[in-house]
Amino acid sequence: MDWNNWDCTYRVSIKAFIVNDLGGFLIVREDNGLWDLPGGGLDRGESPKDCIYREINEEMGLKPIKIEPRPMLLFSSNNPKGEPIVNVLYETQLAHLDFTSTTECRELKFIHKKADLHGLTTYQNVLDLVEMIF
């Protein structure tokens, strides 16, 4: 194998894994109609905890009250352009869900089983996660 021509560049996406009392996890609907996990791209020099805090604040106008220090799951997927991404999920708690609507968060929904995705258009990482945990 020619290691000089091997492309292994992945965008790192830090995601908040927010669970309700019934064991469902939170997804958010963006302005484009697609559902995703809350969170986003890790900026150069930024810690994952700072990324989640920034993204939740930007997307939802909320502030996390707890972010676990270690990721609970890491998995690769593809973005809508077919480019590879790595999703790193951190268990996160919010004080409440009284969010401010933005282009990145128009609506909230908890997923408790595969059937909850019926009729929703999601990013591939949500489909991949549902396959892994349900």
Q: Tell me which residue range forms the domain holding 67.
A: 3-133
Total-model pTM:
0.91
Per-residue pLDDT tens digits for 30-86: 999 999 999 999 999 999 999 999 999 999 999 999 999 999 999 999 988 888 999
The CA-atom distances, in angstroms, between 19 and each of 32, 69, 80 are 24, 16, 25
CATH number at 95 reads 3.90.79.10
How many domains does the chain fold into? 1
Per-residue pLDDT tens digits for 76-91: 999 888 889 999 999 9
Q: Tokens 């560049």: give the residue.
A: 9
pLDDT band at 6 (very low <50, low <70, confident <90, very high): low
